[in-house]
Each structure stands twice: as C-alpha cells, then as structure tokens.
Amino acid sequence: MGALVAFAKPFRMPDFFLISGLFLARVIGRRWRAYLDTKVVHFAYFYVLWVTIQFAFKAPGIAAEAGWGRRRASYALAFIEPFGTLWFIYLLPIFFVVTKLMRDVPQVLLWFAAAFVQIADIHTGWIVIDEFCARFVYFYSGYVLAPYVFDFAETVFANQRAALLFLSSWALFEAVMVFGGYSELPVVNLGLGFLGALAVVAAGVLLSARSWALPLRYAGENSIVVYLAFFLPMAATRAALLKFAPELDLGTVALIVTAAGVITPLILHALVKNTSARFLFKRPAWAKLRPPAERARWPRLEPFRRQP
C-alpha cells in the first residue's frame, strides 16, 4: 500500500481538481446569485455540517488533551483554516469564485501565473494558501482545456487497444519517475500531474464500457458522499483492526481501512437518502439561495372622480 500511495501521489489530487473544472464552462456565465448557490453555498453547507460532525466525534479527545477552551478555539479556526480531510471541500468554492472573477484576464496569462506558483512550491503553513498555489493550475486547466480533454476521451473510446498501450506506458513511466526520485522536481511534478490526470480520464473511459465496473460508476456518481463521510468508518475500522487483529501487517490494515472508508459511506447514503436524515448528503431547500422574487405589481389605480 505504501508503494501504491507513492505511485499515485503525483496525480491523485491534480486529477481531482482538473476533473472538477471540466464542466465549469457550462455554468460560469450564470448570474452571480445562481452561480454562488451551486458553486459556493452548496459546498459551504456540507463543509459546515460535516466539520461539526467531525468535531462532535473528536471533541472529547481534543478536550482531554488540551481542554475544552482549546476545543472551541479549534472549531472556530476550522472556518478559517480547513479542518482535516475536508480541506478540498473548502478549497473548491474558492477556485470557482476566483475563476469567475478572472474571466476577463487572458487565459494564457492566468494559466502561466498558476503554473508558476505551482512550480514555486510555496509553503506558508496555511492550508488554503499552500493548496491554492499547488492545485489551482489543474482546476483552471480543466476549465480552459475542457474541449481538448473531451476530445481525448472520445479518442480513447474509439481506440481502446491503443489506450491500453498508453496506460501501460504511462504506468511504467510513472513508476520510474516516482521510485527513481524524480517526481518531486519542479516542472516534472507539474507535468506528472497532468499526465496522470489524462491517464485517469482514459481509465475512466475504458471502465465505462465494462458492465463489471458499475459499482465504480455508482461510487463516482456519489463521490461527494465518500468525500464527506469516509473519515468515521476509516477511523473506526483502523482502531478495531489494531485492537482486535494486531497480527495483521500494516499494508493489509491500510487496504481494509481504505475499502471501509469508501463502501461504508455509500451504504449509509443508500439507507438515509429516502429518510429525514438525507440532509447529510442532500442540501435542503432552506440552505439554497432562492432566486429574487418578482416585484409585486401594484393594482392599477383609477383617477379619483368626484361623484355628482
């Protein structure tokens, strides 16, 4: 598992953000109110909800270690500095807003600026700043290069044997770069991110034609469910295995924990989606920005006429 994690490191987050930007062109022209509702309030709702849920489980440990005052301070700080595994839910709305605000900036200029800060490998100690600098170039590329990515996907679907050869060559090249110690080099790291993202797109296209991959399709369609809820089954499974099966090697434990972190949230979603608890994964109506109400039309007033 350690080798697999190392192999995926150069592309696992770049492909997430690049794919997140692919369909932005369809909605970026919306008015700000509608845009903010789907691209900011949507993620803000789930962030606030699930950071509160995470704190409910972690608060006793935080309080025992640093006191209840520290627990309250940590919760308040979570709205400035993203908490734990939810940092990308926090960062996506920032990417959406920045991209819309920068629509009038020449795309080539903005892309090179984003690439420059990624290559600069900025470390300030603040998650939002550091991850923005490291990831925005991929999100923005998904937005501006979407037509080319979709053309690539169509080419993969039409030439599946050649696509398998591409994936095999990419996997070998990726392994050489990672385990040869080259993947963290400036510019190389940026290129591996893009190349790996294209490999993920190609793999997704090939899997879409296989009936046995339907569970993966279902997981992809409900990816927000996994992103939000994986932390609790992951932590619970890890604690249980380390306590009741200490003889297992860490690689096996990591594999089981990862599987539990993906499968359990999907089961939970299936159980609650038609119940009152569906608010865990579906934003309720009260958490949406309603379109401005039409102005009330006053009744037409007839001129006053004095009675004879």
Average pLDDT by consecutive 10-residue portion of the chain (308 residues)?
Answer: 93 96 94 95 96 84 64 85 89 97 96 97 95 97 97 97 97 98 96 97 94 93 94 93 92 94 96 96 93 53 48
One domain, residues 111 and 220: no
Q: What domain range is 103 assigned to? A: 2-211
Model pTM greater than 0.85?
Answer: yes
Sign of the torsion formed by the C-alpha atoms of 36, 39, 42 and 43 = negative
In angstroms, the CA 54 to CA 47 distance is: 10
In angstroms, the CA 307 to CA 301 distance is: 17
The predicted pLDDT at position 301 comes to 46
**Residue 272 belongs to a domain:** yes
Number of domains in the chain: 2
One domain, residues 255 and 167: no
DSSP H or E stretch at residue 190: helix 188-208
One domain, residues 139 and 263: no
One domain, residues 111 and 201: yes
> Which residue matches tokens 């192999």?
7
The predicted pLDDT at position 69 comes to 63
DSSP per residue, 1-45: -HHHHHHHHHHHHHHHHHHHHTTGGGTTTS-HHHHHIIIIIHHHH
